[in-house]
Chain A
Amino acid sequence: QVQLQESGPGLVKPSQTLSLTCTVSGASIREGDYYWSWIRQVPGKGLEWIGYIYNSGSTYYNPSLKSRVVISLDTSKNHFSLNLTSVTAADTAVYFCAREQRDWGIPVFDPWGQGTLVTVSS
Chain B
Amino acid sequence: YDLTQPPSVSVAPGQTARITCGGNNIGSKSVHWYQQKSGQAPVVVVYDDGDRPSGLPDRFSGSKSGNTATLTITRVEVGDEADYYCQVWDSSSHHPYVFAPGTEVTVL
A positions within 8 Å CB-CB of B: 45-49, 62-64, 96, 104-115
Interface on chain B toward A: helix, strand, loop, or mixed SS?
strand
Residue of B nearest to A48 (CB): B99
CB neighbours of B53 from chain A (8 A): 104, 110
CB neighbours of A48 from chain B (8 A): 99
**B95 adjacent to A114 (CB under 8 Å):** no
**B48 adjacent to A110 (CB under 8 Å):** no
Instruction: Determine the distance from Cα of A108 to Cα of B89 in the docked complex, in whole angstroms.
Output: 9
Of the residues A46, A47, A106, A110, contact of B30 by C-beta under 8 Å = A106
CB neighbours of B101 from chain A (8 A): 45-46
**A113 adjacent to B85 (CB under 8 Å):** no
**A109 adjacent to B40 (CB under 8 Å):** no
14 additional A-B residue pairs with CB within 8 Å, beyond A107-B97, A108-B48: A46-B99, A47-B42, A47-B87, A47-B99, A96-B41, A104-B51, A104-B53, A106-B30, A106-B89, A109-B32, A109-B44, A110-B44, A111-B43, A112-B43
| Interface size class of chain B, counting residues whose CB lies under 8 Å from the partner chain | 20 to 34
Instruction: Determine the distance from Cα of A47 to Cα of B30 in the docked complex, in whole angstroms.
Output: 17
Given A111-B41, A112-B43, answer yes or no on A63-B85 (Cβ-Cβ < 8 Å). no
**A104 adjacent to B48 (CB under 8 Å):** yes
CB neighbours of A45 from chain B (8 A): 101
Q: List 12 A-B contacts (CB under 8 A).
A: A45-B101, A46-B102, A47-B85, A49-B97, A104-B53, A106-B30, A107-B97, A108-B48, A109-B42, A109-B87, A110-B43, A112-B42
Most buried by A among B42, B43, B85: B42
**In angstroms, how far is the closest chain A Cβ from the Cβ of B43?**
7
What per-residue 1/0 map shows which CB atoms of B16-44 lie under 8 Å from chain A?
A: 00000000000000101010000011111
**B85 adjacent to A105 (CB under 8 Å):** no
In the complex, whether B47 has a CB less than 8 A from a CB of chain A is: yes
In the complex, whether B100 has a CB less than 8 A from a CB of chain A is: yes
CB neighbours of A107 from chain B (8 A): 89, 96-97
**A114 adjacent to B40 (CB under 8 Å):** yes
B window 50-93: CB within 8 A of A: 51, 53, 85, 87, 89
Instruction: Determine the distance from Cα of A110 to Cα of B47 in the docked complex, in whole angstroms.
Output: 11
